[in-house]
Amino acid sequence: MPISTYGGVENYITNVSDRWIERHSTSPRAVREHSRTPKADVVKIWESLVRRGHTEGVRASYYFSFALIHRLIDGVSAKGAAQLYFSDRERAMEMYQPARGPVLSVRERLLGDLLSVQTRRHGGQRWLHKPLLLLLALGRCAHKEGRMIPFSETEEELTELLHVYDPSGSSAAEPFWRLQSDGDLWVLEGEGLDALRAVGGVPTAAELRSHRVRGGLSKLYYDVLIADKGLIAEAVGNVITTFFPDVMWEAIDDQFGFSREIGRDTTPVTGGWRQKDVFPLIARTIRNLYQETHDWITREAIQNRLLLDAEAKPHIEESAERLHWQPVAVAANMVDWWSARYRSGSNGFASEFDRTALGGKAAYRPK
C-alpha cells in the first residue's frame, strides 16, 4: 500500500532498519530511485503531536514522515497539508504489537508504564524517590485534585516522604525532574524548560522554583484514572508491591490514605511491623525517657532506647532482615514514620505529646 503525500506523490516502503525508512518515490524530483528518511524525523513529529495535541507547520523535508503518521495511526487527522491533530487521542495512543495486534488500551499502557519505572539501587537498597512521587500523583487522582502541581507546593511534602522512606538521600528535585524520562507518565511545564534541559543533569530545587516548574501525570493517564477508582486502586497496589519492601506496605497505604479514600484495600497483608504494634512502643519510650530526664526527647534517644526494648527488638530485627538494613536504621525509620504521622495528627498519640525542634530535628515530651 503506497503512502501518498499531500502533493499526490506515492511512496513505497522497501526496507526499515534501526535508523532509516527506505522508500521508492514516484516523485519526478527524486534524485535516486530509493530514498531514505531518518526514523528520527517521524519521532520528532510524533513527540510534537503528543506534547501539544497538534503539530506546527511541516517542512518539505518532513512530508513523507507527516503523511506516514497520518495514514497509519488511527485517531490522527490532518488540517490540510500543514497540521496534524488528535481526532481520537486514546485510540492514537494505543500500542501495536505485531504478534497480537493492537491490544494495549490506555489502561493497560498506564499499568505497564508504572511497572517499568527505572529505579536505582545502592548497597542493595532500591531508591524510592520516583515511586513516592507517583503515589503523590495517584493520591491527587483519588482526591480528584488538579493534574499539575507547582514544584514549590509539593517540595515540602515530598522532602518529608523521602526523609522517612527513601534511603538515597536525594532531594525532591531528583524525582520531580527525572520521572519525565519514564514512558508517558510524567510531564513538566514551566518557564525556560528548554534552557534547563539544555544544561543537562537535574536542576536544583531553587531553579525549579524560580522557573515555576509544574509537574503532573500526562493528561491521557490522569483522565482515565479520575474516572475509575478501581484503576487507581490497581495502580496504587502495583506501585506499592513492586517498589516497596513488604514491611512498608501497610505504612505507605496508611500514610497516603488510599484505602480510606478509594474505599477498598490497596495492599496485601504483610508480615512486617505495623503501626498498631510500633506506635505504642514509641509513645511509651518517650514517656519513660522523660521521667528519667525531664527534658525534650530527641529522635536519636528514642531510636537508641527502642534498640534495647524487649518488645521492640523483634519488630526491628525482623524488619532489618527483610529490608537488609542495619537495626539502627530500622529504629530510626520507625521514629521518622511516627514523627511524620504526628505532624498530620494521625498517629494516635499527637494529642498526648508536645513537639519542638532542637538543632533542626524534632523532639517530644508528654503534655
pLDDT tens digits, 2-22: 666 656 667 777 777 767 787
pLDDT-above-90 percentage for the chain: 21
What digits encode the pLDDT tens for the residues 148-189?
999 999 898 888 888 877 767 788 999 999 898 887 889 999
Instruction: Note the pLDDT of residue 292.
Output: 95
Question: Do 229 and 168 fall into the same domain?
Answer: yes
**With bands split at pLDDT 50, 70 and 90, how would you rate the model's confidence at 58?**
low
Low-confidence winner among 19-28, 71-80, 344-353 (lowest mean pLDDT): 19-28
Question: Do 127 and 242 fall into the same domain?
Answer: yes
Predicted confidence (pLDDT) at residue 304 exceeds the cutoff of 90: yes
- Considering the domain boundaries, does residue 101 fall inside one? no
Which of the pair, 188 or 45, is modelled with greater confidence?
188
Of 205, 233, 262, which one is at a domain's C-terminal end?
Answer: 262
Q: Mean pLDDT over residues 107-113, rounded?
A: 80
Q: Mean pLDDT over residues 112-122, rounded?
A: 80
Predicted confidence (pLDDT) at residue 96 exceeds the cutoff of 60: no
Angle between helices 312-323 and 275-293 (to 10 degrees): 120
Q: Mean pLDDT over residues 33-43, rounded?
A: 71
Question: Do 88 and 204 fall into the same domain?
Answer: no
Question: Do 84 and 116 fall into the same domain?
Answer: no
Boundaries of domain holding 32: 3-92
Predicted confidence (pLDDT) at residue 365 exceeds the cutoff of 90: yes
What digits encode the pLDDT tens for the residues 190-207?
887 878 887 778 889 999
Which of the pair, 278 or 348, is modelled with greater confidence?
278
- Considering the domain boundaries, does residue 38 fall inside one? yes
Mean per-residue pLDDT of the chain: 78
Q: Mean pLDDT over residues 81-85, rounded?
A: 72
Question: Do 122 and 167 fall into the same domain?
Answer: yes
Question: Do 247 and 326 fall into the same domain?
Answer: no
Predicted confidence (pLDDT) at residue 111 exceeds the cutoff of 60: yes
- Considering the domain boundaries, does residue 344 fall inside one? yes
Question: Do 190 and 298 fall into the same domain?
Answer: no
Q: Mean pLDDT over residues 314-325, rounded?
A: 79
- Considering the domain boundaries, does residue 56 fall inside one? yes
Q: Mean pLDDT over residues 137-153, rounded?
A: 90
Instruction: Note the pLDDT of residue 238.
Output: 78
Question: Do 31 and 120 fall into the same domain?
Answer: no
- Considering the domain boundaries, does residue 106 fall inside one? no
Predicted confidence (pLDDT) at residue 263 exceeds the cutoff of 70: no
- Considering the domain boundaries, does residue 103 fall inside one? no
Instruction: Note the pLDDT of residue 18.
Output: 66
**With bands split at pLDDT 50, 70 and 90, how would you rate the model's confidence at 305?**
very high
**With bands split at pLDDT 50, 70 and 90, how would you rate the model's confidence at 360?**
low
pTM above 0.75, yes or no: no
- Considering the domain boundaries, does residue 81 fall inside one? yes
Question: Do 213 and 352 fall into the same domain?
Answer: no
Question: Do 133 and 235 fall into the same domain?
Answer: yes
Of 63, 92, 121, which one is at a domain's C-terminal end?
Answer: 92
Instruction: Report how many domains make up the chain.
Output: 3
Of 236, 262, 288, which one is at a domain's C-terminal end?
Answer: 262
Instruction: Note the pLDDT of residue 267.
Output: 43
**With bands split at pLDDT 50, 70 and 90, how would you rate the model's confidence at 344?**
low
- Considering the domain boundaries, does residue 256 fall inside one? yes
Question: Do 248 and 279 fall into the same domain?
Answer: no
Question: Do 78 and 10 fall into the same domain?
Answer: yes
